[in-house]
Amino acid sequence: MLASCVAVLASCARVLALRVAVLALRVAVLAAGGVVLAFKVAKVKGAAADPDYALERAALEIIGAKDAH
């Protein structure tokens, strides 16, 4: 009886550990996405601050070229 209780508790502990690991992985992915988004926003703000860069981007989009930056 005691052995089966210990086995059930060990199983529950493993499931809980897996759930915590999955949650930590999801948080890490969200954090990485936030960093990427921050860089994209900074790049857009940089383009807005530099009219020449914005014109270059527009010209490259019009001719269908890939951005070299």
Chain segment 33-60, per-residue pLDDT in tens: 887 777 777 776 666 666 677 677 777 7
Does some domain include residue 2? no
Q: Establish if 5 belongs to a structural domain.
A: no
Query: Domain tally for the chain?
Result: 1
In this prediction the pTM is 0.50
Residue 59 falls inside a structural domain? yes
Q: What is the mean pLDDT of residues 1-19?
A: 91
Domain that holds residue 53: 20-69
Alpha-carbon dihedral 42, 44, 46, 48, rounded to 10 degrees: -140
Residue 14 lies in a domain: no
Mean pLDDT along residues 10-39: 88
For the four alpha carbons of 62, 33, 44 and 66, in that order, the dihedral sign comes to negative
For the ranges 4-13, 22-31, 42-51, the lowest mean pLDDT is seen at 42-51
